[in-house]
Structure 1
Amino acid sequence: MFGASKPGTRAQSSEVRKQQFTSHSMHFPSLFTPPANSFFVNSQERNSATQFPIIPYTNFLHRHRILCVTIVAAAMRAIEKWTWVRSIDSGSLLVKRYAGVFACILVYSLALATTLLPAHESRADALEDVQNRRAIRIAVPKDTPPFGAANQYKALEGFDVSIARMIALELGVKLDMVPLDSGDRIPSLLNRHVDLVISSLGKNPERQKQIDFSQAYAPFYLGVFGAPGTDVKNAAGLGGKTIAVLKGSIEDGELSKVAPASAIIKRFATEPEAVKSYLQGDSKLLAAGNVLISAFTKEQAEATQLKIVLKDSPCFIGINKNETALLNKVNAMLSTIKQNGMLNVNAQRWFKAPLPDSVLHSSIE
């Protein structure tokens, strides 16, 4: 078994191995090219197939996979030849030949692993990804009227939904809406499940450390509302008037800070009770959020007017950091629809009130 080989056997065996090696090396490129349903796909294939982020492989090695295979094949052949020669010298032919096979497998495994390394530095920016994919994924409210909710036909509609449609139209791409709960908005953006968040998103210092924001696009504020004929131009005008408010709410606290001592604040245990007191005329004014007023009927909304703002916290579009191209596109679109009045029309439809100055005249901060 370990004795000398017959004459010509070595040459014949070498030729057979050469043919086998050539045959196998022809199939190596397919191993360097992940299948369509592989976990390791490039960013464009990943984004068109699923909304979940996948680790991309090194683009350079994929583009030059034939060259890589050639180099690996040459290295494997050299190792095999070296181990063959060493095996003759050492007298352990079979053991050393298997050592050569193991060495070849090791080299090939290292080369294949290299092609699967992340290549974040070669990732296209978000705008380029959207254009290549020809679709933009936007997080919208799941059940938060009037910003976004399902209608009677199970289709999403609302202020934020309409803004998402405008952005997709401006970019000339398909809109893929992703309905999310509030707690899932920023994590989905950071994990690149979505490209933008248009979901009544407020801005605060903690969030600014994680993501970037567009200019303000939607109103979200607490205020004092009343009939158009009620004369209230500032906090001093609240003196002597009855104001209905939900007990212990944020608007209750803000109202208590600015209302003069002569103001009569009627605190109710539930929001419907406070609204009922105002609509029936028992209270001249109502302290509430603009979202609550948007739920009024057309007649009730026309008979109600914002008097003063207690606390203003407008909404912004969220985007991942360092995505300047896409952010600029979004801000340019928002500026345009503010100037041509389309954003105000949208606000009148969904909030039953015009945009406040904090939104209408806001710019990039």
Structure 2
Amino acid sequence: MTGRHWLAAAALAALCAALPSGGAKADLLDDIMKAKKIRIATDLAIPPSGMVDANMKPTGSDVETAQLLAKDWGLELEFVQTTGATRIPNVQTGKADIIISTLSVTPERAKVIDFTKPYAALQSVVGCLKSLPIKDWADLKGKAIAVSRGTTQDTTLTNMKDRDLRIARYDDDATMVTAAVSGQADCVATSATIVNQIGVKNPSRAFEPKVLITNFDLAIGLRQGEPRLKEKLNEWISANLKNGKLNEIYRKFHGSDLPAEMRS
């Protein structure tokens, strides 16, 4: 090896040694701030969390939460329309930066994405027509229960093989609610808030929560390996739980306060 070649090789070795193991990695928080825009996956077909108003503008508790975040960070907000089944793929593929869309925290989801601390809560129930005499799981045996595909309710009921439940899957919450409103489904598995919305759309088919599935924490979802973004989101959530802004948004659309332990 000539002297010139030796010096070039030494310089290259020194440069490689100075680089972090695995090479430089892009940081999503830096990318968001540089673009001055945040892309948030939100389902706009699950009132009152996400919907469009009479002027076709996004509204709802998740919508206002996303808007508050973008405003506080001084960013332009881009909504990425999603469904229950596409929320997680949206951040995994880089189509969206984060998810604010009634995303409950589960061990299965935590294997593929990261979660912030909770910003809201969700009561998951089986709701049926008020006229149906249903009080517990035994009363639901053999009855068709509509669920939105890919949701925690879908997963939970699918795993209840010993209860002999009939599950009717719909692509999203909007079509599931339409099935209930139109008489195609007499029972649905979803949030208590959505159950109560069915009677608003069709008073002659008022639904009510019948059986509690579980209580879920709702958190912001993001792709794995973004600790700086997760930390900044957690700081924002803590500040807005403490100042009451997140509770105000929740009460405005859901008619109740967030759990006391979440607000303290």
Instruction: Tell me which interval the TM-score lies in, with the shorter structure as reference length.
Output: 0.5 to 0.7
- Provide the rounded CA distance (Å) in 1 between the counterparts of 2:89 and 2:33: 23
Give the match for residue 73 of structure 1. none
Give the match for residue 257 of structure 2. 354
Aligned partner of 2:228 among 304, 315, 325: 325
Which has the larger Rg? 1
Counterpart mapping for 1:179-194 below 5 A: 179-194=81-96
- Provide the rounded CA distance (Å) in 2 between the counterparts of 1:198 and 1:192: 15
Query: What is the letter of the counterpart of residue 126 of structure 1?
Result: L
The answer on whether the counterparts of 2:244 and 2:263 sit within 8 Å (CA) in structure 1 is no
1:214 aligns with 2:80: no
The answer on whether the counterparts of 2:122 and 2:216 sit within 8 Å (CA) in structure 1 is yes
Give the match for residue 50 of structure 1. none
Query: What is the letter of the counterpart of residue 351 of structure 1?
Result: H
Partner of 1:214, secondary structure, is strand
The answer on whether the counterparts of 2:113 and 2:224 sit within 8 Å (CA) in structure 1 is yes
Q: Gapped runs of 5+ residues in structure 1?
A: 1-119, 225-241, 254-269, 273-287, 298-305
Aligned partner of 1:137 among 39, 46, 51: 39
TM-score normalised over the length of structure 1: 0.45
Give the match for residue 28 of structure 1. none
- Provide the rounded CA distance (Å) in 1 between the counterparts of 2:247 and 2:197: 14
Relative contact order (alpha carbons < 8 A, sep ≥ 6): 1 or 2 greater? 2
- Provide the rounded CA distance (Å) in 2 between the counterparts of 1:357 and 1:161: 23
Paired residues, number? 192
1:160 aligns with 2:71: no
Give the match for residue 342 of structure 1. 245
C-alpha change, 1:358 and 1:290, in structure 2 (3 Å) is farther
The answer on whether the counterparts of 1:294 and 1:351 sit within 8 Å (CA) in structure 2 is no
Query: What is the letter of the counterpart of residue 50 of structure 2?
Result: G
C-alpha change, 1:189 and 1:223, in structure 2 (3 Å) is closer
The answer on whether the counterparts of 1:137 and 1:178 sit within 8 Å (CA) in structure 2 is yes
The answer on whether the counterparts of 1:150 and 1:156 sit within 8 Å (CA) in structure 2 is yes
Percent identical across equivalent pairs?
Answer: 27
C-alpha change, 1:220 and 1:137, in structure 2 (3 Å) is same
- Provide the rounded CA distance (Å) in 2 between the counterparts of 1:156 and 1:219: 21
Partner of 2:222, secondary structure, is strand
- Provide the rounded CA distance (Å) in 2 between the counterparts of 1:218 and 1:336: 14
Instruction: Let me know the Cα RMSD of the aligned residues.
Output: 3.7
- Provide the rounded CA distance (Å) in 1 between the counterparts of 2:31 and 2:52: 29
- Provide the rounded CA distance (Å) in 2 between the counterparts of 1:140 and 1:359: 22
> For residues 181-226 of structure 1, what are the alpha-carbon distances to aligned partners after superposition, in whole Å with 9 as ceiling and x for unaligned?
11111111011111101111112222111110011112210479xx
Give the match for residue 311 of structure 1. 214
The answer on whether the counterparts of 2:48 and 2:60 sit within 8 Å (CA) in structure 1 is yes
